[in-house]
Amino acid sequence: MFQYEKKLQYPVRIKTPNPKYAQIIISQYGGPDGELGASLRYLSQRFSMPFAELKGLLTDIGTEELGHLEMIGAIVYQLTRNLSPEEIKKSGFDTYFVDHTTGVYPVAASGMPFTATYLQSKGDVITDLHEDLAAEQKARTTYDNILRLVDDPDVRDPIKFLREREIVHYQRFGEGLRLTTDRLNEKNFYAFNPSFDKQCLNRQQAQNRAKS
């Protein structure tokens, strides 16, 4: 189960609203490499993870991503406070405003609504961990691009925090992948799918134990 903590992982305090920034940053809410996709990816993939370390890692990182989703929602919310119709028209935020007013909706900066096609849950630990490593780098690039477009230090500060988290998660997933391959056939990591071919995994683990 999940239980809510009434606090952000890192503070968001934006003094000056800016609907243009909101329209860019919303991509990390519901866009192709955003936090919603990240949390759904890890929290879905974890069910078929074959080792305790990976069940823990995907649960923990997936949960942290929900906290990041909340931070992005808070950034968008604070950037769209007290706007006048003129500001909305001038900034180009009008195309979002017409459908959602200033409600926070999972959508990419391009206007494409969130879709589960942004993520995969393949039931194969090597495949899934490679997807996760790539996802962290794609999110890191998106945050780099946001930092290229946004000047306000109040907005940059939490974005920089989120960017750093992608790098830490990439590191942890890399370690998860190493823990996995250490337990497989060292001559052919793809000899079987340890999430599905349980008998092969048990046999391999017995062999690895006998060797060491």
Partner 1 sequence: MLTERSKALQCLSSLQFILWELHLYLDTHQDDCEAMARHKKYTEEYTAMRADFEEKYGPLSAATGSGCAWLANPWPWDTEECVK
Contact residues: partner 1, CB under 8 A: 3-14, 53, 56-57, 60-61, 64, 70, 73-74, 77-78, 81, 168, 172, 175-176, 179
Select 64 or 132, whichever has its Cβ closest to partner 1. 64
Min dist CB 77 to partner 1, Å, is 5
Identify which of residues 1 and 210 has a Cβ nearer to partner 1 in the complex.
1
Burial of 123 (0-12, 13-18, 19+ CB in 10 A): middle
Q: Give the nearer residue to partner 1 in terms of CB position, either 170 or 189.
A: 170
CB of 59 to partner 1, least distance (A): 9
Question: Is the CB of 11 or the CB of 111 nearer to partner 1?
Answer: 11
- The total of other beta-carbon atoms located within 10 Å of residue 172's CB is 15
Phi-psi region of 123 (alpha: psi -120 to 50; beta: other; left: phi over 0): left
Contacts of residues 177-186 at CB distance under 8 Å and 24 or more positions apart, as own/partner, are: 177/126, 177/129, 177/130, 177/133, 179/51, 179/53, 179/54, 180/50, 180/51, 180/54, 180/125, 180/126, 180/129, 181/126, 183/51, 183/208
Nearer to partner 1 (CB atom), residue 57 or residue 201: 57
The two three-digit tokens of residue 159, written as one number: 């974005």
Cα-based angle 22, 26, 30 (whole degrees, multiple of 5): 165
Residue nearer to partner 1 on the CB measure, 54 or 150: 54
We find the least distance from the C-beta atom of residue 8 to partner 1, in angstroms, to be 5
Least Å distance, CB 116 to partner 1, is 25
Question: CB 207 → partner 1: shortest distance, Å?
Answer: 22
Contact of 88 with 97, CB cutoff 8 Å: yes
Helix-helix angle 52-79:35-45, to 10 degrees:
160
Q: How far is the CB of 13 from partner 1 (least distance, A)?
A: 5
